[in-house]
Amino acid sequence: MQSIYLAGGCFWCTEAIFKMVIGVEKVVPGYIGGITKNPTYQEICKGHTGHAEAILCSYDEKKIILEDILDIFFSTHDPTQLNRQGNDIGTQYRSAIFCINNKQKSIVNSFIDGINHLHDNKIVTEVEINNNFFVAENYHFDYFNRNSENAYCQVVINPKLLKFKNKYKNKII
């Protein structure tokens, strides 16, 4: 089992997508990349902790490779937007990948180099090694499935899920 931390805007979106991917065994929402120990959602939302909303994505390498995880990640958010995704604005919504080791970081950087030309603007996704992950409060777990009628879920998450389902039919549980 391998793990990587993915920050692609609101973690409710990222969690909903990766929970559907074949080979992804565990998805945990949380906070990473900041200075505050044990931050809360309220602190994160103020944008002063330095953390990004992210997921811990644990996957079985026999079922899915890191490059497929990265392909899905970069296809389901805009990695060219600095410190925002759509109307979610602030460093807590930045595009970032937090790797567990140098080998993983090298794979991620090579992947980005290979897809940068596909975008009109330069990819601004941060890539660093960091395992200092803080698990989010329980009410963030499985947020989309428990709150699918919520306006944010309908307007922001549902369109991303539809795009994901259309593009990755063979990778969905």
57 catalytic? Reply is: no
Q: From 42, 38, 57, select the one nearest 98 (Cα to Cα).
A: 57
Helix (H, G, I), strand (E, B) or coil at 49: coil
Q: Which residues contact 159 (CB under 8 A, 6 or more apart)?
A: none
Strands, E assignment, 9-146: 24-32, 52-59, 84-85, 88-89, 95-99, 126-129, 134-135
126-129 and 95-99: which strand pairing?
Answer: parallel
Among 10, 13, 57, 153, the one annotated catalytic: 10
Q: Which residues are catalytic?
A: 10
